[in-house]
Amino acid sequence: MPIPPRSEFARHWSLSTDVTVLNHGSFGACPTAVLAEQAAIRARLEANPTGFYFDERPRAWRSALEATAAFINADPAGIAFQINATAAVNTVLKSLTFEPGDEILVLDHAYQACRNTVEAVAARDRARVVVAAIPFPPTSPEAVIEGVMERVTDRTRLALIDAVTSPTAIRLPFERLTRDLEARGVDVVLDAAHGAGIVPLDVSALGAAYVATNCHKWLCTPKAAGVLTVRSDRRDRIRPLITSHGASIPGPPEARFRNEHDWPGTIDPTPWLCIGAAIEHLGGLLAGGWPAIIERNRDLAIRARDILAEALGTTAVVPDEMMAAMATLAIEPDPTGTARPALAPDPLMIDLLERYRTQVVVFSWPYHRARYLRVSAALYNSEAEYRHLAAALRELGVNGAAGT
């Protein structure tokens, strides 16, 4: 089958032309103009390392904090840059301590790396991990809220809630969940790894104690641009994963947060320093700016969901109101029945790549005893690409599965 055409926006990326990229969600993809900005910053850094780290970096870092804060409506004073969302969730969990018997609430759709972090901290402190189950496909936002809130007890201290779930691509009612949990006295860690650039994210309105997000996924910055926001009443509790010079610089608590989080030692700061450029560049590609990008990509994911559901012969789909720019469908179990470690690719993923030059994600998800196929809808994607995938799935004889 010939490679299908991408959208008119694809010219802004340098994606390889011999593959259909339907997995923006895992690692993002950075446009050429933003990569050029990163290369220019790196060239200045390497031309004068000492001058760069002492002079340009602090100024550029402050601008990056401000650009990020403006995009997600957060207080720049409460932002700590992280290499990724996993690091942001680790920073929060490993800064906190729990009493034996305290409960940490997670969803059965939680990203495994973040769930592992919760499990490790709970085991350290003899706290309990309580898992709220969400069916796939979910019936409504209200049913999800009910299912989560009924697991809250007077021992619940913290809840890890996803903005858009990783394996199942469900846009959760995270605003209402956060409000209800915080109102019950439960601190929320919002895992918005799929957050900035895929859903409207207003950190101040949200009121979560902690928000972890990524810029390298849906804001399309260079890799390793994660963000943690910490509410003002929690900043004195959160220490960076790396103890560095900031720990011995005297000053008030606000200064300590900045000193500790801004300098982990020598790092490549260019991914964060490109956040402003990425926001501006992509936001300028559509007349309606970022709200239009979010809507366009979501609409495309809904079309992808429908095209793939038809090819797979399933009606078990995530409702429109719980969709963002990714679509997941449950498929029949792997016929080889082989259990694979978390990072090993599913045979269907390999077949689709090798025989049809198409990149998607296929996960076997132990918590649901299910197998999921996930596609993403980024600006460079077109409807023709999902039709191509649908034809490949038909040819391979892949069938959908009922929900859980």
- Taking the complex as a whole, how short is the minimal distance between the CB of residue 156 and ligand PLP, in angstroms? 20
User: How far is the C-alpha of 288 from the C-alpha of 17, rounded, in Å?
Assistant: 28
Residues paired with 107 in a beta bridge = 132
**Among the listed residues 214, 221, 314, 359, the single contact to ligand PLP using CB under 6 A:** 214
The helix/strand/coil state of 214 is strand
**Among the listed residues 86, 358, 364, 376, the single contact to ligand PLP using CB under 6 A:** 86
# of chain residues touching ligand PLP (CB under 6 A) = 13
**Among the listed residues 108, 162, 175, 260, the single contact to ligand PLP using CB under 6 A:** 162
Alpha helices (runs of H) in 20-140, residue ranges in sequence order:
24-27, 32-47, 49-51, 57-72, 85-95, 112-125
- Strands of the sheet containing 103-107, edge to edge, are 79-82, 226-230, 210-214, 187-192, 156-162, 103-107, 128-132
Which residue type is seen at 86? T
- Taking the complex as a whole, how short is the minimal distance between the CB of residue 159 and ligand PLP, in angstroms? 14
| Residue with Cβ nearer ligand PLP (13 or 111) | 111
Residue 168 binds to ligand PLP (criterion: CB under 6 A): no
CA atoms within 13 A on the CB side of 254: 5
**Among the listed residues 191, 262, 346, 385, the single contact to ligand PLP using CB under 6 A:** 191
**Among the listed residues 91, 117, 166, 381, the single contact to ligand PLP using CB under 6 A:** 166
Q: Are 352 and 358 in contact (CB under 8 A)?
A: yes
E strands in 168-318: 187-192, 210-214, 226-230
| Residue with Cβ nearer ligand PLP (4 or 167) | 167
Residue 376 binds to ligand PLP (criterion: CB under 6 A): no
Site for ligand PLP in 316-345 (CB under 6 A): none
- Taking the complex as a whole, how short is the minimal distance between the CB of residue 229 and ligand PLP, in angstroms? 15
313 phi, psi to nearest 5 deg:
65, 40
DSSP code per residue over 244-260: -GGGGS---HHHHHHHH
| Residue with Cβ nearer ligand PLP (228 or 390) | 228
- Taking the complex as a whole, how short is the minimal distance between the CB of residue 34 and ligand PLP, in angstroms? 17
- Taking the complex as a whole, how short is the minimal distance between the CB of residue 313 and ligand PLP, in angstroms? 28
- Taking the complex as a whole, how short is the minimal distance between the CB of residue 89 and ligand PLP, in angstroms? 7
| Residue with Cβ nearer ligand PLP (134 or 398) | 134
**Among the listed residues 13, 71, 111, 372, the single contact to ligand PLP using CB under 6 A:** 111
- b/e burial code for range 147-185 (CB count within 10 A of at least 16 → b): bbbebbeeebbbbbbbbbbbbbbbbbbbbebbbbbbeee
- Taking the complex as a whole, how short is the minimal distance between the CB of residue 366 and ligand PLP, in angstroms? 16
Which DSSP letter does residue 320 get? G
Chain contacts with ligand PLP (rule: CB under 6 A): 26, 84-86, 111, 113-114, 162, 166, 191, 193-194, 214
